[in-house]
């Protein structure tokens, strides 16, 4: 629109300059002649033609503006839907990436255990701690001192199974009881089990063992004292 108005201005200025030049040529004539000259047909035609061209260009510019506005109104819904579809397609083609956890530690279940030192005796009537010589014989027979690991919540049945696994001869004892050192030197005293038996929670928290050695004594039958090497060769 600004370009059309500039062209009209230039055209009007050119016509006025032409009119001024013609007026200058008749500058010696009277006012009546000048008026007649201004009212002459060439001058009036030039002015009328300039005005018509100006109005025509203005009408053309307004018409183009109206057409452009109509087209924008007509296709506005399609343009907005296309932009939305393009945006959604771009998002679906490139889904937002999830941040990966750095330094992720794999989850695993911790198995809690209880480890304690046991000493298996052979004599069902023994009431004192064994001497050094007897300890050696018991160790050679597959009895004696061993460190055993249990599940943190092992039941009395699980404790029995584990002890008989570590001390196979214990199965022939007709049951067993667990003892600890008493107040007197080398004296052994029985740890009375609850009705639930010697479970790990009981031995760990209620039996008063602490770090003391838990002595195992058979109840009905003495255990064999044969060294393990001799037993293997006889078999």
Does residue 50 lie in a domain region?
Answer: no
Model confidence at 113: pLDDT above 60:
yes
Phi-psi group of 103: left, alpha or beta (phi > 0 → left; psi -120 to 50 → alpha; rest → beta): left
Phi, psi values for residue 211, rounded to 5° = -100, 5
Q: 172: Cβ–Cβ under 8 A, 6 or more apart, which residues?
A: 218, 221, 223, 224
Helices vs strands, H then E, count in the chain: 7, 5
What pLDDT is attached to residue 37? 47
Does residue 207 lie in a domain region?
Answer: yes
CATH at 164: 3.10.20
How much is the pTM? 0.54
DSSP 53: H
pLDDT in tens, 130-152: 999 999 999 999 999 999 999 99
Closest CA to 129 of 213, 218, 225, 203: 213
Does residue 117 lie in a domain region?
Answer: yes
**Pairing relationship of beta strands 188-190 and 176-181 according to DSSP bridges:** antiparallel
Which domain does 127 fall in, by range?
113-218
Domain count along the chain: 1
Closest CA to 186 of 136, 119, 141: 119
What pLDDT is attached to residue 89? 57
């Amino acid at each position: 629109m600004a370009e059309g108005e500039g062209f009209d201005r230039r055209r009007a200025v050119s016509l006025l300059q032409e009119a001024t030049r013609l007026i200058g040529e008749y500058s010696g004539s009277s006012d009546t002649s000048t008026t007649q000259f201004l009212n002459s047909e060439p001058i009036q035609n030039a002015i009328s033609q300039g005005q018509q061209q100006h109005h025509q260009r203005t009408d053309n510019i307004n018409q183009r503006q109206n057409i452009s506005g109509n087209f924008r109104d007509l296709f506005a819904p399609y343009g907005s839907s296309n932009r939305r579809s393009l945006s959604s397609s771009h998002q679906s083609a490139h889904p937002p990436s999830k941040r990966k956890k750095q330094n992720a530690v794999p989850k695993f279940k911790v198995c809690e255990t209880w480890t304690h030192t046991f000493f298996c005796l052979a004599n069902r009537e023994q009431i004192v701690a064994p001497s050094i010589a007897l300890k050696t014989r018991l160790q050679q027979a597959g009895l004696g001192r061993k460190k055993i690991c249990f599940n943190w919540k092992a039941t009395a049945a699980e404790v029995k199974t584990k002890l008989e696994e570590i001390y196979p001869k214990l199965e022939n004892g007709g049951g067993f009881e667990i003892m600890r050192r008493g107040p007197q030197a080398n004296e052994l005293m029985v740890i009375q089990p609850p009705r639930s038996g010697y479970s790990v929670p009981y031995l760990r928290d209620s039996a008063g063992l602490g770090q003391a050695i838990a002595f195992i004594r058979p109840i009905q039958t003495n255990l064999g004292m044969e060294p393990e090497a001799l037993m293997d060769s006889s078999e």
